[in-house]
Chains A and B, each alone.
Chain A
Amino acid sequence: MTTPQRAGAGALSPAPVLTLDALGKKCPIPIIMLADRIRDVQVGQHIAVLADDPAAKTDLPAWCALKSQEFVRTDELPVRMDGVGAPHRAWSFLVRRSY
Protein backbone atom coordinates (compact mmCIF):
# COMPACT_ATOMS: atom_id res chain seq x y z
CA MET A 1 0.00 0.00 0.00
CA THR A 2 1.11 3.53 -0.67
CA THR A 3 2.43 5.37 2.33
CA PRO A 4 1.62 9.01 2.86
CA GLN A 5 4.52 11.04 1.57
CA ARG A 6 3.37 14.58 1.65
CA ALA A 7 1.34 16.69 3.95
CA GLY A 8 -0.99 17.55 1.07
CA ALA A 9 -1.38 20.69 -0.95
CA GLY A 10 0.13 22.83 1.80
CA ALA A 11 3.55 21.31 1.14
CA LEU A 12 3.51 22.14 -2.54
CA SER A 13 6.27 24.24 -3.89
CA PRO A 14 5.82 26.54 -5.64
CA ALA A 15 2.73 27.38 -3.65
CA PRO A 16 -0.57 27.61 -5.52
CA VAL A 17 -2.45 30.87 -5.08
CA LEU A 18 -5.71 29.01 -5.63
CA THR A 19 -6.67 25.42 -4.75
CA LEU A 20 -9.75 23.81 -6.29
CA ASP A 21 -11.33 20.92 -4.40
CA ALA A 22 -12.67 18.41 -6.93
CA LEU A 23 -12.51 15.44 -4.53
CA GLY A 24 -15.42 13.12 -5.13
CA LYS A 25 -16.07 14.61 -8.57
CA LYS A 26 -15.84 12.50 -11.69
CA CYS A 27 -14.12 13.62 -14.86
CA PRO A 28 -14.80 15.87 -16.67
CA ILE A 29 -15.89 17.99 -13.66
CA PRO A 30 -12.33 18.58 -12.30
CA ILE A 31 -11.27 19.75 -15.78
CA ILE A 32 -14.28 22.04 -16.08
CA MET A 33 -13.47 23.56 -12.69
CA LEU A 34 -9.89 24.20 -13.78
CA ALA A 35 -10.95 25.68 -17.12
CA ASP A 36 -13.44 27.97 -15.36
CA ARG A 37 -11.06 29.21 -12.70
CA ILE A 38 -7.60 29.38 -14.28
CA ARG A 39 -8.17 33.01 -15.23
CA ASP A 40 -8.66 33.80 -11.54
CA VAL A 41 -4.89 33.61 -11.10
CA GLN A 42 -2.29 35.85 -12.75
CA VAL A 43 -0.15 34.67 -15.64
CA GLY A 44 2.83 32.85 -14.09
CA GLN A 45 0.95 31.98 -10.90
CA HIS A 46 0.02 28.43 -9.86
CA ILE A 47 -3.32 26.76 -9.34
CA ALA A 48 -3.82 23.35 -7.69
CA VAL A 49 -6.63 20.87 -8.34
CA LEU A 50 -7.38 18.16 -5.76
CA ALA A 51 -9.10 15.15 -7.31
CA ASP A 52 -9.60 11.44 -6.68
CA ASP A 53 -11.02 10.28 -10.02
CA PRO A 54 -8.23 8.15 -11.59
CA ALA A 55 -9.02 9.68 -14.99
CA ALA A 56 -7.83 13.05 -13.67
CA LYS A 57 -4.25 11.71 -13.61
CA THR A 58 -4.28 11.57 -17.40
CA ASP A 59 -6.79 14.28 -18.15
CA LEU A 60 -5.31 17.20 -16.19
CA PRO A 61 -1.94 16.98 -18.02
CA ALA A 62 -3.76 16.28 -21.32
CA TRP A 63 -5.92 19.39 -20.87
CA CYS A 64 -2.82 21.48 -20.19
CA ALA A 65 -1.18 20.15 -23.36
CA LEU A 66 -4.30 20.94 -25.40
CA LYS A 67 -4.67 24.42 -23.92
CA SER A 68 -0.94 25.26 -23.83
CA GLN A 69 -1.01 25.70 -20.06
CA GLU A 70 1.96 24.42 -18.10
CA PHE A 71 1.40 21.21 -16.18
CA VAL A 72 3.88 21.30 -13.32
CA ARG A 73 3.42 18.18 -11.23
CA THR A 74 1.23 15.47 -9.73
CA ASP A 75 1.49 14.81 -5.99
CA GLU A 76 -0.13 11.90 -4.23
CA LEU A 77 -2.20 13.03 -1.26
CA PRO A 78 -2.11 11.11 2.03
CA VAL A 79 -4.02 7.85 1.64
CA ARG A 80 -7.11 7.36 3.70
CA MET A 81 -9.03 4.12 4.00
CA ASP A 82 -12.59 3.98 2.74
CA GLY A 83 -15.40 2.03 4.40
CA VAL A 84 -14.30 -1.40 3.11
CA GLY A 85 -10.68 -0.90 4.05
CA ALA A 86 -9.45 -0.21 0.53
CA PRO A 87 -7.02 2.66 0.10
CA HIS A 88 -8.68 5.74 -1.30
CA ARG A 89 -6.16 7.49 -3.50
CA ALA A 90 -6.21 11.15 -4.33
CA TRP A 91 -3.88 13.58 -5.98
CA SER A 92 -2.99 17.22 -6.15
CA PHE A 93 -2.30 18.53 -9.63
CA LEU A 94 -0.26 21.70 -9.96
CA VAL A 95 -0.74 23.90 -13.01
CA ARG A 96 0.97 27.18 -13.91
CA ARG A 97 -1.05 29.66 -15.92
CA SER A 98 1.19 30.38 -18.90
CA TYR A 99 -0.84 32.97 -20.84
Chain B
Amino acid sequence: MSVPYFDAASAEPLHPRARDALLAALDDGWADPARLHREGRRARLLLDRARESVAAELGARPDELSFTTSGTQAVHLAVLGAVQARQSAARGPGHVVTSAVEHSSVLNAADWLARRSGTEVTTTGVDRLGRADVGAFAEALRQDRTLLACLQTANHEVATIQPVADVIEACARRGVPLLVDAAASVGWLPVPAGWSLLAASARKWGGPAGVGILAVSKGVRWREPLPADDRENHRVPGFPNVPAVLAAAEALSAARGERGVSSGALRAHTDRIRAAVPELVPDSVVHGDPDQRLPHIVTFSCLYVDGEALVTELDRAGFSVSSGSACVSDTRQPSHVLAAMGVLTHGNVRVSLLGDATSQSVEEFLDVLPPIVARVRETVRATSAT
Protein backbone atom coordinates (compact mmCIF):
# COMPACT_ATOMS: atom_id res chain seq x y z
CA MET B 1 0.00 0.00 0.00
CA SER B 2 1.39 3.37 -0.93
CA VAL B 3 1.81 5.97 1.81
CA PRO B 4 -0.19 9.16 1.14
CA TYR B 5 2.86 11.38 1.07
CA PHE B 6 1.45 14.77 0.09
CA ASP B 7 4.57 16.93 0.38
CA ALA B 8 6.25 16.35 -3.00
CA ALA B 9 7.01 20.07 -3.35
CA SER B 10 9.31 19.90 -0.30
CA ALA B 11 11.11 16.73 -1.33
CA GLU B 12 10.36 13.60 -3.28
CA PRO B 13 12.01 10.19 -3.28
CA LEU B 14 14.77 9.69 -5.83
CA HIS B 15 13.35 8.48 -9.14
CA PRO B 16 14.23 4.78 -9.65
CA ARG B 17 16.03 5.57 -12.92
CA ALA B 18 18.01 8.28 -11.14
CA ARG B 19 18.85 5.84 -8.38
CA ASP B 20 20.21 3.34 -10.92
CA ALA B 21 22.19 6.11 -12.63
CA LEU B 22 23.60 7.25 -9.29
CA LEU B 23 24.75 3.76 -8.31
CA ALA B 24 26.34 3.15 -11.72
CA ALA B 25 28.06 6.56 -11.62
CA LEU B 26 29.53 5.89 -8.20
CA ASP B 27 31.54 3.17 -9.97
CA ASP B 28 32.17 4.98 -13.27
CA GLY B 29 32.26 8.68 -12.47
CA TRP B 30 34.27 8.99 -9.27
CA ALA B 31 37.45 10.40 -10.81
CA ASP B 32 38.41 14.06 -11.20
CA PRO B 33 36.88 15.27 -14.48
CA ALA B 34 39.60 17.93 -14.75
CA ARG B 35 42.35 15.30 -15.11
CA LEU B 36 43.66 14.00 -18.41
CA HIS B 37 44.06 10.33 -17.50
CA ARG B 38 41.64 7.57 -18.46
CA GLU B 39 39.54 7.70 -15.30
CA GLY B 40 39.37 11.48 -15.42
CA ARG B 41 38.37 11.47 -19.09
CA ARG B 42 35.61 9.00 -18.29
CA ALA B 43 34.21 11.22 -15.53
CA ARG B 44 34.50 14.23 -17.84
CA LEU B 45 32.60 12.43 -20.60
CA LEU B 46 29.78 11.51 -18.20
CA LEU B 47 29.62 15.05 -16.83
CA ASP B 48 29.55 16.57 -20.33
CA ARG B 49 26.78 14.22 -21.40
CA ALA B 50 24.72 15.11 -18.35
CA ARG B 51 25.27 18.80 -19.08
CA GLU B 52 24.17 18.40 -22.71
CA SER B 53 21.09 16.47 -21.72
CA VAL B 54 19.98 18.93 -19.00
CA ALA B 55 20.78 21.94 -21.20
CA ALA B 56 18.64 20.51 -24.00
CA GLU B 57 15.72 19.97 -21.58
CA LEU B 58 15.97 23.54 -20.28
CA GLY B 59 16.53 25.25 -23.62
CA ALA B 60 20.08 26.33 -22.78
CA ARG B 61 23.43 25.81 -24.48
CA PRO B 62 25.71 23.38 -22.64
CA ASP B 63 28.37 26.06 -22.10
CA GLU B 64 25.78 28.35 -20.52
CA LEU B 65 24.93 25.79 -17.86
CA SER B 66 26.76 25.07 -14.59
CA PHE B 67 25.88 22.56 -11.90
CA THR B 68 25.73 24.02 -8.39
CA THR B 69 25.42 22.37 -4.99
CA SER B 70 21.74 23.33 -4.56
CA GLY B 71 18.96 25.37 -6.10
CA THR B 72 19.55 27.95 -3.40
CA GLN B 73 23.23 28.24 -4.34
CA ALA B 74 22.24 28.61 -8.00
CA VAL B 75 19.94 31.53 -7.11
CA HIS B 76 22.54 33.17 -4.86
CA LEU B 77 25.24 32.94 -7.53
CA ALA B 78 22.85 34.18 -10.22
CA VAL B 79 21.71 37.22 -8.22
CA LEU B 80 25.06 38.23 -6.75
CA GLY B 81 27.05 37.53 -9.93
CA ALA B 82 24.68 39.42 -12.22
CA VAL B 83 24.33 42.43 -9.91
CA GLN B 84 28.02 42.71 -9.05
CA ALA B 85 29.01 42.46 -12.73
CA ARG B 86 26.90 45.51 -13.51
CA GLN B 87 27.64 47.61 -10.45
CA SER B 88 30.03 50.45 -11.24
CA ALA B 89 31.17 53.82 -9.99
CA ALA B 90 28.73 55.44 -12.39
CA ARG B 91 25.75 53.25 -11.50
CA GLY B 92 26.48 52.98 -7.80
CA PRO B 93 25.08 50.07 -5.79
CA GLY B 94 22.18 49.84 -8.22
CA HIS B 95 18.67 48.52 -7.99
CA VAL B 96 17.03 45.08 -8.06
CA VAL B 97 13.37 44.25 -8.75
CA THR B 98 11.65 41.04 -7.55
CA SER B 99 8.08 39.94 -7.00
CA ALA B 100 6.92 39.58 -3.41
CA VAL B 101 6.30 35.83 -3.78
CA GLU B 102 9.76 34.70 -4.92
CA HIS B 103 11.46 31.82 -3.17
CA SER B 104 13.23 32.90 0.02
CA SER B 105 16.63 32.31 -1.66
CA VAL B 106 15.89 35.16 -4.10
CA LEU B 107 14.60 37.51 -1.41
CA ASN B 108 17.52 36.65 0.89
CA ALA B 109 20.09 37.32 -1.85
CA ALA B 110 18.48 40.69 -2.66
CA ASP B 111 18.34 41.57 1.02
CA TRP B 112 21.99 40.59 1.42
CA LEU B 113 22.94 42.99 -1.40
CA ALA B 114 20.86 45.72 0.22
CA ARG B 115 22.61 45.31 3.54
CA ARG B 116 26.14 44.74 2.20
CA SER B 117 26.34 47.20 -0.66
CA GLY B 118 23.33 49.46 -0.32
CA THR B 119 21.56 48.07 -3.37
CA GLU B 120 18.00 49.33 -3.52
CA VAL B 121 15.43 46.52 -3.72
CA THR B 122 11.89 46.97 -5.04
CA THR B 123 9.50 44.15 -4.20
CA THR B 124 6.43 44.34 -6.41
CA GLY B 125 3.05 43.02 -5.43
CA VAL B 126 0.83 40.16 -6.52
CA ASP B 127 -2.93 39.80 -6.74
CA ARG B 128 -5.07 37.62 -4.48
CA LEU B 129 -4.25 34.59 -6.65
CA GLY B 130 -0.51 35.15 -6.20
CA ARG B 131 0.03 36.35 -9.75
CA ALA B 132 2.73 39.00 -10.23
CA ASP B 133 1.46 42.43 -11.27
CA VAL B 134 3.15 42.88 -14.67
CA GLY B 135 2.37 46.60 -14.79
CA ALA B 136 3.89 47.29 -11.37
CA PHE B 137 6.87 45.06 -12.16
CA ALA B 138 7.54 46.85 -15.47
CA GLU B 139 7.10 50.24 -13.85
CA ALA B 140 9.67 49.39 -11.19
CA LEU B 141 12.36 48.75 -13.86
CA ARG B 142 14.62 51.75 -14.36
CA GLN B 143 16.58 51.77 -17.57
CA ASP B 144 19.88 53.09 -16.22
CA ARG B 145 19.72 51.91 -12.61
CA THR B 146 18.09 48.47 -12.42
CA LEU B 147 20.83 45.84 -12.55
CA LEU B 148 18.65 42.74 -12.28
CA ALA B 149 15.02 41.65 -12.15
CA CYS B 150 13.88 38.27 -10.75
CA LEU B 151 10.70 36.32 -11.39
CA GLN B 152 9.71 32.71 -10.77
CA THR B 153 7.99 30.61 -13.45
CA ALA B 154 5.44 29.36 -10.95
CA ASN B 155 4.92 29.69 -7.24
CA HIS B 156 6.14 26.85 -5.02
CA GLU B 157 3.44 27.36 -2.38
CA VAL B 158 0.23 28.17 -4.22
CA ALA B 159 1.09 26.79 -7.71
CA THR B 160 0.14 29.94 -9.62
CA ILE B 161 1.95 30.26 -12.95
CA GLN B 162 3.56 33.67 -13.40
CA PRO B 163 3.29 35.88 -16.49
CA VAL B 164 6.98 35.32 -17.33
CA ALA B 165 6.67 36.02 -21.07
CA ASP B 166 5.24 39.50 -20.39
CA VAL B 167 7.95 40.28 -17.85
CA ILE B 168 10.68 39.02 -20.22
CA GLU B 169 9.33 41.47 -22.80
CA ALA B 170 9.25 44.36 -20.32
CA CYS B 171 12.81 43.63 -19.18
CA ALA B 172 14.06 43.40 -22.78
CA ARG B 173 12.50 46.78 -23.59
CA ARG B 174 14.44 48.42 -20.76
CA GLY B 175 17.64 46.41 -21.20
CA VAL B 176 17.37 44.83 -17.74
CA PRO B 177 18.58 41.22 -17.36
CA LEU B 178 16.01 38.83 -15.88
CA LEU B 179 16.68 35.88 -13.60
CA VAL B 180 14.00 33.27 -14.17
CA ASP B 181 13.67 30.94 -11.18
CA ALA B 182 12.24 27.80 -12.75
CA ALA B 183 12.67 25.55 -9.71
CA ALA B 184 8.95 24.93 -9.14
CA SER B 185 8.06 24.20 -12.76
CA VAL B 186 10.92 22.31 -14.42
CA GLY B 187 9.65 18.90 -15.49
CA TRP B 188 6.04 20.18 -15.45
CA LEU B 189 6.24 23.05 -17.92
CA PRO B 190 8.68 23.99 -20.67
CA VAL B 191 11.11 26.72 -19.60
CA PRO B 192 10.02 29.98 -21.25
CA ALA B 193 12.58 31.30 -23.76
CA GLY B 194 14.22 34.67 -23.31
CA TRP B 195 15.71 34.43 -19.80
CA SER B 196 19.03 36.10 -19.06
CA LEU B 197 19.81 33.83 -16.12
CA LEU B 198 18.07 30.63 -15.10
CA ALA B 199 18.02 28.75 -11.79
CA ALA B 200 16.55 25.34 -10.96
CA SER B 201 16.88 22.48 -8.49
CA ALA B 202 17.19 18.76 -9.31
CA ARG B 203 15.46 17.75 -6.08
CA LYS B 204 12.25 19.28 -7.44
CA TRP B 205 12.14 16.95 -10.45
CA GLY B 206 12.93 13.69 -8.70
CA GLY B 207 16.70 14.06 -8.74
CA PRO B 208 18.98 13.96 -5.72
CA ALA B 209 19.44 16.80 -3.23
CA GLY B 210 22.65 18.76 -3.69
CA VAL B 211 22.33 19.53 -7.41
CA GLY B 212 21.20 22.92 -8.65
CA ILE B 213 21.29 24.51 -12.08
CA LEU B 214 22.68 27.93 -12.92
CA ALA B 215 22.52 29.06 -16.55
CA VAL B 216 23.87 32.37 -17.76
CA SER B 217 22.78 33.29 -21.26
CA LYS B 218 25.51 34.16 -23.78
CA GLY B 219 26.21 37.87 -23.72
CA VAL B 220 24.73 38.44 -20.25
CA ARG B 221 27.28 39.97 -17.90
CA TRP B 222 28.08 37.92 -14.83
CA ARG B 223 31.06 37.96 -12.49
CA GLU B 224 31.97 35.28 -9.98
CA PRO B 225 30.88 36.44 -6.51
CA LEU B 226 33.00 33.77 -4.79
CA PRO B 227 36.70 32.99 -5.19
CA ALA B 228 36.69 31.06 -8.48
CA ASP B 229 38.56 28.01 -9.73
CA ASP B 230 38.40 26.29 -13.11
CA ARG B 231 35.32 24.19 -12.25
CA GLU B 232 31.95 24.57 -13.95
CA ASN B 233 32.97 27.29 -16.37
CA HIS B 234 34.59 29.26 -13.51
CA ARG B 235 31.16 29.78 -12.00
CA VAL B 236 30.93 27.25 -9.17
CA PRO B 237 34.09 26.53 -7.18
CA GLY B 238 34.85 23.06 -5.87
CA PHE B 239 34.90 19.46 -7.05
CA PRO B 240 31.60 18.63 -8.80
CA ASN B 241 29.49 15.72 -7.55
CA VAL B 242 29.52 13.82 -10.85
CA PRO B 243 27.37 10.86 -9.73
CA ALA B 244 24.65 13.15 -8.33
CA VAL B 245 24.72 15.27 -11.49
CA LEU B 246 24.25 12.14 -13.64
CA ALA B 247 21.34 11.07 -11.46
CA ALA B 248 19.83 14.55 -11.81
CA ALA B 249 20.08 14.40 -15.61
CA GLU B 250 18.49 10.94 -15.67
CA ALA B 251 15.66 12.08 -13.37
CA LEU B 252 14.95 15.07 -15.60
CA SER B 253 14.70 12.99 -18.71
CA ALA B 254 12.42 10.55 -16.85
CA ALA B 255 10.31 13.44 -15.51
CA ARG B 256 9.79 14.88 -18.96
CA GLY B 257 8.33 11.60 -20.17
CA GLU B 258 6.28 10.79 -17.09
CA ARG B 259 5.02 14.18 -15.95
CA GLY B 260 3.44 14.81 -19.32
CA VAL B 261 1.35 11.70 -18.68
CA SER B 262 0.67 12.15 -14.96
CA SER B 263 -0.15 15.86 -15.04
CA GLY B 264 -3.69 15.23 -16.36
CA ALA B 265 -4.53 12.88 -13.49
CA LEU B 266 -2.82 15.12 -10.92
CA ARG B 267 -4.75 18.11 -12.16
CA ALA B 268 -7.97 16.14 -11.72
CA HIS B 269 -6.93 15.27 -8.14
CA THR B 270 -6.09 18.88 -7.24
CA ASP B 271 -9.27 20.10 -9.00
CA ARG B 272 -11.20 17.66 -6.81
CA ILE B 273 -9.52 18.99 -3.64
CA ARG B 274 -10.08 22.59 -4.74
CA ALA B 275 -13.77 21.93 -5.23
CA ALA B 276 -14.33 19.65 -2.24
CA VAL B 277 -12.55 21.44 0.61
CA PRO B 278 -14.82 24.54 0.69
CA GLU B 279 -17.86 22.23 0.60
CA LEU B 280 -16.67 19.80 3.25
CA VAL B 281 -14.94 22.22 5.61
CA PRO B 282 -16.94 25.26 6.73
CA ASP B 283 -14.97 28.52 6.75
CA SER B 284 -12.17 27.32 4.50
CA VAL B 285 -10.64 28.99 1.47
CA VAL B 286 -8.55 27.62 -1.41
CA HIS B 287 -5.60 29.69 -2.66
CA GLY B 288 -3.91 30.25 -5.99
CA ASP B 289 -5.01 30.55 -9.59
CA PRO B 290 -7.68 27.91 -10.36
CA ASP B 291 -6.60 27.60 -14.01
CA GLN B 292 -3.08 28.90 -14.60
CA ARG B 293 -1.32 26.64 -12.12
CA LEU B 294 0.99 23.68 -11.61
CA PRO B 295 -1.00 20.44 -11.67
CA HIS B 296 0.27 18.81 -8.48
CA ILE B 297 0.00 21.53 -5.80
CA VAL B 298 -3.06 22.84 -3.96
CA THR B 299 -3.07 25.12 -0.91
CA PHE B 300 -5.94 26.07 1.37
CA SER B 301 -6.54 27.66 4.79
CA CYS B 302 -9.13 26.85 7.43
CA LEU B 303 -10.33 29.60 9.74
CA TYR B 304 -9.96 29.25 13.51
CA VAL B 305 -7.35 26.45 13.53
CA ASP B 306 -3.59 26.57 13.87
CA GLY B 307 -1.51 25.07 11.09
CA GLU B 308 0.77 23.17 13.42
CA ALA B 309 -2.09 21.22 14.99
CA LEU B 310 -3.53 20.53 11.54
CA VAL B 311 -0.23 19.17 10.18
CA THR B 312 0.26 17.04 13.30
CA GLU B 313 -3.27 15.62 13.22
CA LEU B 314 -3.06 14.88 9.49
CA ASP B 315 0.28 13.17 10.04
CA ARG B 316 -1.30 11.04 12.76
CA ALA B 317 -4.01 10.10 10.27
CA GLY B 318 -1.30 9.07 7.79
CA PHE B 319 -1.14 12.17 5.56
CA SER B 320 2.11 14.11 5.18
CA VAL B 321 1.45 17.74 4.26
CA SER B 322 3.20 21.05 4.80
CA SER B 323 1.91 24.40 6.02
CA GLY B 324 2.72 28.08 5.52
CA SER B 325 1.29 29.06 8.88
CA ALA B 326 3.48 31.00 11.28
CA CYS B 327 3.32 28.41 14.04
CA VAL B 328 4.99 25.88 11.73
CA SER B 329 8.00 28.06 10.86
CA ASP B 330 11.15 28.47 12.95
CA THR B 331 10.90 32.24 12.74
CA ARG B 332 7.21 32.27 13.76
CA GLN B 333 6.54 34.39 10.69
CA PRO B 334 3.72 33.36 8.38
CA SER B 335 4.50 32.44 4.78
CA HIS B 336 5.58 35.58 2.92
CA VAL B 337 3.72 34.24 -0.12
CA LEU B 338 0.34 34.05 1.63
CA ALA B 339 0.98 37.40 3.33
CA ALA B 340 1.79 39.08 -0.01
CA MET B 341 -1.43 37.65 -1.46
CA GLY B 342 -3.36 39.02 1.50
CA VAL B 343 -4.98 35.66 2.21
CA LEU B 344 -5.48 33.81 5.47
CA THR B 345 -2.16 32.47 6.77
CA HIS B 346 -3.36 30.47 9.76
CA GLY B 347 -4.81 26.98 9.40
CA ASN B 348 -2.84 26.61 6.19
CA VAL B 349 -2.25 23.29 4.41
CA ARG B 350 -0.27 22.66 1.24
CA VAL B 351 -0.93 19.38 -0.52
CA SER B 352 1.64 18.51 -3.20
CA LEU B 353 1.25 15.18 -4.93
CA LEU B 354 3.75 12.67 -6.24
CA GLY B 355 3.22 11.52 -9.82
CA ASP B 356 1.60 8.23 -8.77
CA ALA B 357 -0.94 9.71 -6.33
CA THR B 358 -4.26 7.86 -6.55
CA SER B 359 -7.83 9.14 -6.39
CA GLN B 360 -8.35 6.71 -3.53
CA SER B 361 -5.73 8.48 -1.38
CA VAL B 362 -7.23 11.86 -2.31
CA GLU B 363 -10.73 10.68 -1.27
CA GLU B 364 -9.34 9.28 1.98
CA PHE B 365 -7.73 12.65 2.65
CA LEU B 366 -11.04 14.39 2.02
CA ASP B 367 -12.68 11.94 4.45
CA VAL B 368 -10.31 12.60 7.34
CA LEU B 369 -9.89 16.35 6.86
CA PRO B 370 -13.31 17.68 8.00
CA PRO B 371 -13.43 15.85 11.36
CA ILE B 372 -9.78 16.80 12.03
CA VAL B 373 -10.49 20.49 11.38
CA ALA B 374 -13.59 20.29 13.59
CA ARG B 375 -11.61 18.66 16.40
CA VAL B 376 -8.74 21.17 16.21
CA ARG B 377 -11.27 24.02 16.21
CA GLU B 378 -12.78 22.71 19.43
CA THR B 379 -9.37 22.38 21.07
CA VAL B 380 -8.26 25.88 20.02
CA ARG B 381 -11.54 27.32 21.25
CA ALA B 382 -11.20 25.56 24.61
CA THR B 383 -7.66 26.95 25.04
CA SER B 384 -8.59 30.47 23.96
CA ALA B 385 -11.50 30.61 26.42
CA THR B 386 -9.11 30.48 29.35
State the A residues within 8 Å of B (CB).
25-29, 31-33, 35, 53-55, 57-59, 61-63, 65-66
Contact = CB atoms under 8 A, between A and B. Distances in A.
B346 A31 contact: yes
Interface in B322-340: 325-327, 332-334, 338-339
A55 B303 contact: no
A61 B343 CA distance: 8
A28 B304 contact: yes
Most buried by B among A26, A31, A35: A26
Contacts, number: 66
A63 B303 contact: yes
B346 A55 contact: yes
Given A28-B346, A32-B380, 20 more contacts: A26-B327, A27-B326, A27-B327, A28-B304, A28-B306, A28-B347, A28-B380, A31-B303, A31-B304, A54-B326, A55-B334, A55-B346, A57-B339, A58-B338, A58-B339, A58-B342, A59-B344, A61-B342, A66-B285, A66-B303
Question: Size range of the interface on B?
Answer: 20 to 34
Contacts of B381: 32
* Majority DSSP secondary structure for residues of B touching A: loop
B364 to A, nearest CB: 26
B380 A29 contact: yes
A62 B345 contact: yes
A55 B384 contact: no
B346 A59 contact: yes
Contacts of A53: 326
Contact of B345 (A29, A35, A58): A58
Contacts of A31: 303-304, 346
B177 to A, nearest CB: 32
Interface in B122-146: none
B305 interface: yes
Interface in B294-326: 303-306, 325-326
A28 B379 CA distance: 12
A17 to B, nearest CB: 22
A14 B332 CA distance: 32
Contacts of B283: 66
Contacts of B303: 28, 31, 35, 63, 66
26 contacts: A26-B306, A27-B325, A27-B334, A27-B345, A28-B347, A32-B304, A32-B380, A32-B381, A35-B303, A35-B304, A53-B326, A54-B326, A54-B334, A55-B333, A55-B334, A57-B339, A58-B342, A58-B344, A58-B345, A59-B346, A61-B342, A62-B342, A62-B344, A63-B303, A63-B344, A66-B285
